[in-house]
Amino acid sequence: AAASDSISMNGSVQSRVLLSDRMDKQLDQVTLQPFWDFVKSKEPFITSPYFPVLFSFTAYMTFCLPYIALDCLSTKVPALRKYKIQPMVYPTLGMMIPCMIQCVYHHVVFIFPVTIAHWYWRPVEFPVMAPELPKVLLDVSVCLLLFDFQYFLWHLLHHKVPWLYKTFHKVHHKHVSTFALSTQYSSVWELLSLGFFAAINPKLLKCHPLTETIFFLVNIWLSVEDHSGYELPWSTNRLVPFGLYGGAPHHDLHHLKFKCNYAPYFTHWDRLFGT
């Protein structure tokens, strides 16, 4: 009888644990489900070939605008200059406009045809349920780490091979002191190859479409912050402990010195390779 009671109690505990885990997962899904239901209500537009290019350009310009405003204000407000990494150099209108024109040109002439091809060959399908929040956070983190590694290898190769640097990467190094709009000032090859890395990682991990979108937003934001030329009190490199994330100071030094800091976000690959 005692053994029977013990088995019964163990079964009861296991049932409660399983029920608790199931409820936690349901809660995680419920957390994102209302937003996902709203997104699904816009499915005809979001799954159209026009959405990805509009999304990319709008997100990029939205993230650039605060830094553009900061560039304008910093020349007139001395208190803001302490956040500028290279305080003696500020972008001019003549530097910003070509970056803006090239960005529009690349999105219309190159990115838009790619999104149409993707829309034709691999239509997007929306699942009914939202992803679980911990899974979203994990997948976005893994996608960022994968992209960081891919970019590091790509970047290192394009600096070590003179032909690759002169042919494809040199244009991105036109500005020694970076600013937000210089983020996507690059060759078509660089834009499309790095865009491919960003797009393929969520596919490899079989991420939920919502997770994929969140990763794209985070990736665009971090790339703009990297090139902003500012280290603010809330900059990502100050929020991540132990110097694991380099941020704007890390990447700004790369543009200044050319021969160090090849990883876009994290610092571990440069430390391991002695760069």
pLDDT at 141: 97
* DSSP string of 177-218, one letter each residue: S--GGGTT-S-HHHHHHHHHHHHHHHHHTT--HHHHHHHHHH
Instruction: Render pLDDT for 80-127 as a digit per residue (tens, 0 to 9).
Output: 999 999 988 899 999 999 999 999 999 999 999 988 887 777 777 889
Q: Which amino acid is at 74?
A: S
Residue 42 sits at the vertex; the CA angle it makes with 36 and 47, to the nearest 5 degrees, is 100
Owner of token pair 């009888």:
1
- Cβ atoms within 10 A of the Cβ of 27, count? 11
Low-confidence ranges of the chain (pLDDT < 70): 1-30
pLDDT at 47: 87
Say which residues have a Cβ less than 8 Å from residue 190's Cβ, sequence separation at least 6: 158, 168, 169, 171, 172
pLDDT at 5: 58
Rounded to two decimals, what is the model's pTM? 0.87
pLDDT at 25: 56
Instruction: Render pLDDT for 232-244 as a digit per residue (tens, 0 to 9).
Output: 999 999 999 999 9
Taking the CA atoms of residue 74, residue 78, residue 83 and residue 86 in that order, the dihedral angle to the nearest 10 degrees is 80
**What distance in Å separates the CA atoms of residue 25 and residue 21, rounded to the nearest whole number?**
6
